[in-house]
A and B are shown apart, each in its own frame.
Chain A
Amino acid sequence: MTAATDNGFVVFDRVQKSYDGETLVVKDLNLSIGKGEFLTMLGPSGSGKTTCLMMLAGFETATHGEILLDGKPINNIPPHKRGIGMVFQNYALFPHMTVAENLAFPLEVRKFGKSEREEKVQRALEMVQMGAFGGRRPAQLSGGQQQRIALARALVFEPDLVLMDEPLGALDKQLREHMQFEITRLAHNLGITTVYVTHDQTEALTMSDRVAVFNDGRIQQLDAPDVLYEQPVNSFVAQFIGENNTLMGTVKEIENGVALVELDDGEVIDAKPVNVKKPGDRTLVSIRPERVEINKDRLSPNAHLIHAEVLEFIYMGDIYRTRLRVAGNEDFVIKTRNAPDQRRMKPGEHIEIGWLPEDCRALDAPA
């Protein structure tokens, strides 16, 4: 057993999954989720997130490895005995039952008495601010309202763990942002352990305690949102999360935690080596648009500067977004705050840009 298995509330221990016996959809998943934690599985479509969730809920069996819930292996426990609340992407509210009946369903099958049932249903409805909607049918509710009901139904029987599979995918942007807040609030208030699946990085970053970035059936990085954003451990994570400028190059030397990278057009820059090992490695250098400096005064005197040509200037209200050509890359974007001392650059203008070495990360070059 790995160390993680000893203390997690939910533990995936070397879990593998294959549907067809030929390809592994989930390859060696190790994950420990603490009690009360809000963990998000983030990744592109097809990366195996739903599969992991389904294995946890009991609708798919792990091909190899063990899943533990509260220290007990659950591989052989049928789904209805696992006591895990679940919110589906299409909500899966039973269309032939009213909202109240939907909510009463898990209580009924648990043989709660009628009065207790009604009380819990009403409490759950009020928790999602839908107290007056008990008599409606799901079809009579808007998408956002259905979403709330689905949430209430997953919580009404007070499970220790809720799973949500892209629950906000069908909502429009504004409603989605509101519900993100709402879900996090509920999860924290109730102290419930939540495993949340999404392919939307903003959602993942704003809601979670920790985010597991999935790709190709593996967790690429498992970290708190800020760490994930600022210190991506490989090029996939860097490119998947947030806006990102990339430059290709080769490592010339690594010294004192700073790598000297020669870009493909010959320019030389400083970068922080993350997963490059030795001089001669191909590397993808990643810099966040907001960390690019155009003001030389803010950089250390011996920092490498690099030449750039302004291609486009976009005024976005709170920020300026400027597109540059840097070392042959025409999609190099910088963001500057709309401050009184900021200058609006004109297309065709030639400038020099630079950055702090720790903001510029030399990552593996994707194949």
Chain B
Amino acid sequence: MTEATRTGQMLAADGTPLKRSLQRALRAQKLRALMLIAPLLLFIMVTFVAPIADMLFRSVENQIVSDTLPRTAQAIRDWDHNSGEPPSDDVLAAFTIDMIAAVERKQHTRLGTRLNYEQNGLSSLFRKTGRGVGDIGETYRDQFAALDPAWTDPGTWIALFADPSWQADHDAWEAARTAARSAGRPFAEPVPPFRLKDGMAGVLPETADAYLDFARAVQGNRNGDPAARAPWPPVYLALYRDLTAVGVGRIATLDEAAQALLDPAHYAVRGFERADLAALYAGIDRAWSQTTVWATIQTFSARYTPGYFLTAVDLKQTPDGITSQPADQKIYIMLFERTLVMSLTIMGACVLLGYPIAFLLANLPMRTSNLLLILVLLPFWTSLLVRTSAWKVLLQQQGVINDILVWIGIVDNAGRLILINNQTGTIIAMTHILLPFMILPLYSVMKTIPPSYVRAAKSLGATNWTAFWRVYFPQSVPGIGAGCILVFILAIGYYITPELVGGTSGTFISNRIAYHISSSLNWGLAAALGTILLGVVLALYWTYDRLVGIDKVNLG
């Protein structure tokens, strides 16, 4: 018994297992092949896989709420929207800091637009609140200032919250700037990124957090210098809240200068006049005193949301769970159904019209069939817009077709047919435009059916019809399948033609998607609709594969 058979493994001449040396030998080959297709692979990744992945992601992505209102999202989690009460001061304080930071970063309007998809009016509410939120905390600022004017000095805050090393960096930066200014040189060096002093977050958590956000926002906003600006009034609100909550012992852990500043304030805040946050917000807009807005924020503060998908199937996510949209806003299911039914109709019309043409193409003598093929391909050489517009001319009520029908006397002048700006128009124009996609696969399949099959059938006694139906037709079915898949998939996502000749009743789901992408800018919903469309196509493809077998499809 040889070594190889005993171990059950074939060995190459050098003793390595045969499998491994084969793999090694093939690896270089595979690598070379991979390099050849690499440009195409990259192209497909960039232009096909990446956009689809992005679309799938966008359809559930909802980070704008939790990114813009991180403190609120956290604080509001435990609030019960059914209590009838607006959220507590903790939530309002968190919201205030979030909002002022968002305003500084100019993100509150985007957030308003996002939440407006879920509840009308939120867009203007956020804009309005953005203007007013800067005043919240002013009462505390004034009281701190009265206690010690140093509280309005930016330097006080820097000394209290900035890391000493940052302060040193900042001093160096400032010196460089002064030198540059006096020398008349331009100076574009950015402020060193702000760093929080260690330990502050433990003593004054909300203030440290708010001040850090302030410093970052100021820096991010056209490279401002946090050391040159007193904090937003809401930061004083945070300071007040921290000082009312913190014990003396914690303050004692800080350095002396901080203690000297904080101790009197800590003592004084007990006597401060409290600001009623709820009332202040109600003053900005009455909506804040109701629970609905807060409930919406709470519902959509998760990082991922099924909300777009629910909207896309005429449902909506409410604080109380999933409900169906009000009847007047249910349009998407209807649009999906219409798109499917019309695509199937167009597909059927293409089979009926395309089959005889493909048959002629495949069976006429070469010269005639070439001419016919050119006629079939001719539309490809004309712009899609031109073809669609031509249908507008033909199908109008005062158009060529109606004129001819009236002239022949099939319809009378008063009863001219409405052939455009409705489903009929879309079906006619799209059948024409997609017909080549049915004819070409059919033709390529039919050309491969040798005439001897039909001859054999006839010689066996079949009439022309039997020979066609029993022998020719079954063999052309793969072509029908390929054409149907092609036409259907193209039709279901078609956009331009329904837009131009479909009016309102003949538009497709893709027109709605386009609307959300370019007009309402609700990309999440557009992505969800697109994802559903993709899912429908894949599901139909799978069904087709199960019923007919995709390997039977011959695209030529």
Q: Could you list which residues of chain A lie within 8 angstroms of chain B, going by C-beta atoms?
A: 57-59, 78-86, 88-90, 92, 94-96, 105-106, 109-110, 153-154, 157, 163
Contacts and interface: CB of A to CB of B under 8 A. Distances in A.
Contact of B459 (A86, A96, A110): A86
B470 interface: yes
B462 A105 contact: yes
B452 A88 contact: yes
Contacts of A90: 450, 452
B459 A94 contact: no
A252 B458 CA distance: 58
A86 B461 contact: no
B474 interface: yes
Interface residues of B, number: 19
Given A96-B474, A96-B475, A109-B466, A80 B453 contact: no
A79 B452 contact: no
A82 B463 CA distance: 12
Contacts of B461: 80-81, 83, 106, 109-110, 157
A79 B454 CA distance: 11
A82 B460 CA distance: 9
Interface in B446-498: 450, 452-453, 455-464, 466-467, 470-471, 474-475
10 contacts: A57-B455, A79-B455, A94-B456, A94-B474, A96-B475, A105-B460, A106-B462, A109-B462, A109-B463, A157-B460
A106 B474 contact: no
Given A96-B475, A105-B470, A109-B466, A84 B459 contact: yes
B455 A80 contact: no
Nearest to A103: B460
Given A80-B463, A84-B459, A105-B457, 9 more contacts: A58-B459, A80-B460, A80-B462, A86-B460, A90-B450, A90-B452, A94-B453, A106-B462, A157-B461
Contacts of A57: 455, 459
B455 A92 contact: yes
A94 B452 contact: no
B474 A85 contact: no
A347 B467 CA distance: 64
Main secondary structure on B side of the interface with A: helix
A95 B461 CA distance: 18
Nearest to B462: A109
Interface string B335-365: 0000000000000000000000000000000
Taking each of B461, B463, B466, B467, which has the highest tally of chain A beta carbons within 10 Å of its own beta carbon? B461
Nearest to A88: B452
A159 to B, nearest CB: 9
**Most chain A CB inside 10 Å of its own CB: which residue of B452, B456, B463:** B456
Interface of B: 450, 452-453, 455-464, 466-467, 470-471, 474-475
B553 to A, nearest CB: 15
Contacts of A84: 459
Nearest to A89: B452
A84 B450 CA distance: 20
A133 B475 CA distance: 22
Nearest to A82: B459
A337 to B, nearest CB: 45
A163 B462 CA distance: 17
Contacts of A85: 459-460
A92 B462 contact: no
A79 B474 contact: no
B474 A153 contact: no
A83 B461 CA distance: 7
Instruction: Among A57, A89, A109, find the residue whose CB has the most chain B CB atoms closer than 10 A.
Output: A109
Contacts of A59: 455, 458
A58 to B, nearest CB: 8
A88 B456 contact: yes
A59 B458 CA distance: 9
B418 to A, nearest CB: 45
A328 B502 CA distance: 87
Contacts of B459: 57-58, 79-80, 82, 84-86, 154, 163
Given A95-B475, A96-B475, A79 B453 contact: no
A105 to B, nearest CB: 6
B463 A92 contact: no
Given A90-B452, A92-B453, A92-B455, A106 B475 contact: no
B450 A92 contact: yes
A183 B151 CA distance: 115
Nearest to A79: B458
A44 B470 CA distance: 35
A18 to B, nearest CB: 15
A124 to B, nearest CB: 12
Nearest to B460: A106
B329 to A, nearest CB: 51
Contacts of B471: 94
B456 A92 contact: yes
Contacts of A109: 460-463, 466
B37 to A, nearest CB: 32
Contact of A80 (B450, B458, B470): B458
**Among B455, B457, B459, which residue has the most Cβ atoms of chain A within 10 A?**
B459
Contacts of A94: 453, 456-457, 471, 474-475
A85 B461 CA distance: 9
A80 B475 CA distance: 21
Q: 5 shortest A-B CB distances, which residue pairs?
A: A106-B460, A92-B456, A86-B459, A92-B452, A79-B458
A109 B464 CA distance: 12
Contacts of A153: 460
A90 B463 CA distance: 22
Nearest to A96: B474
A83 B459 CA distance: 7
Contacts of B450: 90, 92
Q: Which of A86, A153, A154 has the most CB of B within 10 A?
A: A86
A205 to B, nearest CB: 27
B123 to A, nearest CB: 62
A319 to B, nearest CB: 41
B249 to A, nearest CB: 90
Nearest to B473: A96
A163 B464 CA distance: 20
Nearest to B477: A96
A92 B474 CA distance: 14
A89, A94, A157: which has the most chain B beta carbons within 10 Å? A94
Given A96-B474, A96-B475, A88 B455 contact: yes
Contacts of B470: 105
Contacts of B456: 86, 88, 92, 94
A85 B460 CA distance: 7
A315 to B, nearest CB: 43
A80 B453 CA distance: 13
B549 to A, nearest CB: 13
B65 to A, nearest CB: 59
